[in-house]
C-alpha cells in the first residue's frame, strides 16, 4: 500500500507552506463557522481544502513553486517578527535590539547595564540597557 502511494505521488507537487497554511485557515474557518453557525465560513473552509488538495496533487510543479514563493514573499515580514519573538522568548541570556538606522537585529548579553552597541552592518553606535 505504501509503495502504491509513493508511485501515485511521483511527479506531483506535494505539500508546502501555502498548503499547510490553507489547511490551518480551513480548520479555523470550520470551527468559527460551526460555533457561530455561519455557513459562509464553512464554504470558505471547503474552498481552502479543495485548493490545498488541488495544489498537492498537481503535476505542474513550476506553477505551484511560483505560487508558494509569492506567498512566502508576502508573509515574510510577519514571519520575521514571529521568528524574532520566538528567539527573544527562548533566549534568556541575550537581549535583541534593532539598529535605529538600518533595522539590523543585534544580540547583546543581558545584565550588563547601559552599554553602547555598534551595529555590525552600518557601524551605527547606539545606547541601550540590558
pLDDT digit string (tens) for 30-54?
A: 999 999 989 999 999 999 999 999 9
* Residues 97 and 85 reside in one and the same domain: no
What is the predicted pLDDT for the residue at 125? 93
* 49 and 10 co-located in one domain: yes
The reported pLDDT for the residue numbered 126 is: 93
Phi, psi for 98 (deg, rounded to 5): -100, 140
Q: Could you tell me if 35 and 63 lie in one domain?
A: yes
What was the pLDDT predicted at 103?
87
| Whether residue 67 has pLDDT greater than 90 | yes
> Could you tell me the residue range of the domain that residue 74 belongs to?
1-90
Our count of domains for the chain comes to: 2
**Which grid cell sits at 120?**
555590525
40 with 13, same domain: the answer is yes
User: Average pLDDT in the 8-17 region?
Assistant: 92
Same domain? For 77 and 114 the reply is: no
Residues 70, 19 within the same domain: yes
Closest to 45 measured CA to CA, from 75, 23, 14, 16: 23
Q: Are residues 26 and 60 in the same domain?
A: yes
Q: Do both 96 and 63 map to the same domain?
A: no
Please indicate, yes or no, whether residues 79 and 104 belong to a single structural domain of this protein.
Answer: no
Amino acid at each position: 500500500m505504501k509503495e502504491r502511494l509513493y508511485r501515485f505521488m511521483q511527479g506531483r507537487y506535494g505539500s508546502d507552506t501555502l498548503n499547510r497554511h490553507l489547511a490551518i485557515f480551513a480548520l479555523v474557518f470550520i470551527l468559527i463557522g460551526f460555533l457561530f453557525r455561519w455557513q459562509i465560513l464553512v464554504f470558505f473552509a471547503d474552498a481552502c481544502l479543495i485548493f490545498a488538495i488541488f495544489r498537492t496533487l498537481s503535476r505542474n510543479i513550476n506553477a505551484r513553486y511560483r505560487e508558494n514563493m509569492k506567498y512566502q514573499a508576502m508573509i515574510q515580514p510577519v514571519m520575521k517578527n514571529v521568528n524574532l519573538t520566538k528567539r527573544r522568548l527562548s533566549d534568556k541570556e541575550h537581549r535583541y535590539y534593532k539598529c535605529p538606522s538600518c533595522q539590523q537585529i543585534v544580540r547583546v548579553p543581558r545584565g550588563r547595564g547601559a552599554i553602547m552597541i555598534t551595529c555590525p552592518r552600518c557601524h551605527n553606535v547606539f545606547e541601550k540597557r540590558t
